[in-house]
């Protein structure tokens, strides 16, 4: 099957229109909260999607107490017994940059010049920031106005899944088996998927949450988080000699001993790192969080052991100091689960190639909901959504990516109907 020009144009227009609408809905999650959802405003986009899914005649549309949106697309006639697949994207955006009052801007027929932002005259976007922009000359590029992120992570994925659903509704010649739709809260905090109703998902799913057009990802970090409490003693600074135990100053010294070469700003490709994400406190007590990442779990275990030894050394170095550190295994490298059923990856590869894109295979220097789902037995690789420079005010996406990701989903569903 090759998609007609009419269907391609429909997917383009529908996906772009939805994306421009969705990014205006404020759905920032909160890394400092432990509830699901961490922010109530994630329900706002969920409510909108529920109504749109119902309008497309999807069945069993549910918006649950945790903010998840579930829906079911019945199979084309004659394909009832074909393998069911699931399509997932997440509702929230990162709290690294404001996601409130996003105003998307379309830079039409991008000519390769420096992109400027209306709300921040000193902010620019060019090849040095995003080398792929050079490949996108001649395309339309969407950014924010520079005072917020854009929200392509992951409202692009939502728009692409919804555009595919709209095409399946409008063009019955597009054949597919049973399809489950799931839009999840709090992917950015890593908490949302812990509340997923696994019974509503088939054993084969795909997240639409990757970057560059053509990407397929089925390997991610093994991920840990270390939470620290430094307990010291506050004494009047005029009389503090040999008495004060300044927790926050000691914490600064402690984290300066993490290898600088193993920090995010000095690593790439398959290199792991420590990343201090939060440090706050006073002389009496300080708290901190560090994330630990690598593709190989035993490498992370070495980092954990280093932290434990450093803790012991500091408690000897500063008598009376107490350091509490707790380690949490956040998610596993999903490759060890996905390799067990190669067809899931092979059909995604073929779908990307059928869309006319070059297939790009990269490990994810991060994680997706798919990593936790795969560990639960719901095998879930990650298909591109098309956005770049996620979590920043320079975030951008070519409009063509919105169309192409939707095309890939159409081809993918059709390919699964041919599997026995």
Q: Which residues are catalytic?
A: 92, 187
Q: DSSP characters for 299-327?
A: HHHHHHHHHHHHHHHHHHHSTT-EEEEEE
The tokens for 382 are 């990650």
User: Which parts of 223-341 fold into alpha helices (H)?
Assistant: 247-256, 297-317, 335-338
Sequence-separated (6 or more) residues with CB below 8 Å from residue 1? 175, 411, 414
Dist. CA 72–CA 200, nearest whole Å: 9
Q: What single-letter DSSP state applies at residue 194?
A: G
Please state, in angstroms and rounded to a whole number, the distance separating the CA atoms of residues 196 and 183. Answer: 10
For residue 200, list its beta bridge partners. none
What does the angle CA 357 – CA 361 – CA 366 come to, to the nearest 5 degrees?
A: 120
Q: In Å, how far are 153, 173, 265, 388, 395 from 134, measured between CA atoms?
A: 21, 37, 24, 13, 15
CA angle 182, 411, 334 (to 5 degrees): 50
Which two three-digit tokens encode residue 156?
């692009």
Token digits of residue 168: 């399946």
In which element (H, E) is residue 293 found? Answer: strand 285-294
Which residues, 6+ apart, have CB-to-CB distance to 12 below 8 Å? 399, 400, 402, 403
Helix, strand and coil content of the chain, in percent to the nearest 5, comes to 35, 25, 40
Whether the CA torsion 224, 377, 86, 140 is positive or negative: it is: positive
């Amino acid at each position: 099957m090759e998609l007609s020009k009419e269907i391609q144009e429909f997917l383009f227009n529908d996906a772009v229109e939805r994306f421009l609408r969705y990014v205006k809905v404020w759905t920032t999650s909160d890394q400092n909260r432990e509830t699901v959802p961490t922010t109530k405003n994630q329900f706002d986009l969920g409510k909108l999607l529920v109504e749109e899914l119902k309008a497309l005649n999807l069945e069993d549309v549910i918006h649950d107490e945790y903010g998840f949106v579930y829906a079911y697309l019945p199979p084309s006639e004659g394909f009832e017994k074909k393998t069911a697949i699931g399509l997932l994207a997440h509702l929230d955006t990162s709290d690294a940059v404001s996601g409130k009052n996003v105003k998307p801007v379309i830079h039409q027929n991008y000519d390769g010049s420096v992109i400027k932002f209306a709300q921040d005259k000193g902010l620019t976007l060019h090849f040095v920031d995003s080398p792929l922009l050079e490949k996108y000359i001649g395309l339309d590029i969407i950014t924010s106005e520079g005072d917020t992120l854009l929200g392509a992570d992951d409202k692009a994925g939502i728009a692409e899944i919804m555009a595919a659903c709209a095409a399946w509704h409008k063009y019955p010649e597009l054949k597919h088996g049973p399809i489950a739709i799931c839009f999840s809260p709090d992917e950015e905090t890593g908490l949302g998927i812990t509340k997923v109703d696994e019974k509503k998902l088939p054993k084969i799913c795909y997240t639409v949450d990757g970057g560059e057009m053509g990407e397929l990802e089925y390997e991610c970090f093994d991920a840990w988080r270390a939470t620290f409490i430094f307990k010291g003693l506050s004494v009047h600074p005029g009389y503090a000699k040999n008495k004060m135990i300044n927790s926050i100053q000691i914490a600064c010294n402690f984290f300066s001993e993490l290898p600088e070469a193993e920090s995010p700003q000095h690593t790439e490709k398959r290199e792991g790192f420590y990343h201090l994400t939060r440090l706050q406190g006073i002389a009496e007590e300080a708290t901190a969080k560090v994330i630990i990442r690598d593709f190989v779990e035993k490498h992370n275990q070495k980092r954990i052991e280093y932290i434990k030894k450093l803790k012991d050394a500091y408690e000897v170095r500063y008598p009376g100091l107490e350091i509490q550190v707790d380690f949490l295994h956040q998610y596993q490298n999903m490759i060890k689960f996905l390799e067990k059923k190669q067809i899931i990856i092979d059909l995604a590869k073929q779908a990307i190639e059928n869309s006319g894109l070059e297939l790009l295979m990269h490990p994810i220097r991060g994680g997706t909901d798919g990593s936790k789902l795969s560990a639960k037995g719901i095998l879930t690789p990650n298909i591109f959504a098309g956005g770049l420079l996620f979590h920043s005010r320079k975030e951008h996406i070519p409009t063509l990516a919105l169309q192409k990701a939707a095309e890939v989903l159409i081809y993918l569903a059709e390919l699964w109907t041919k599997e026995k």
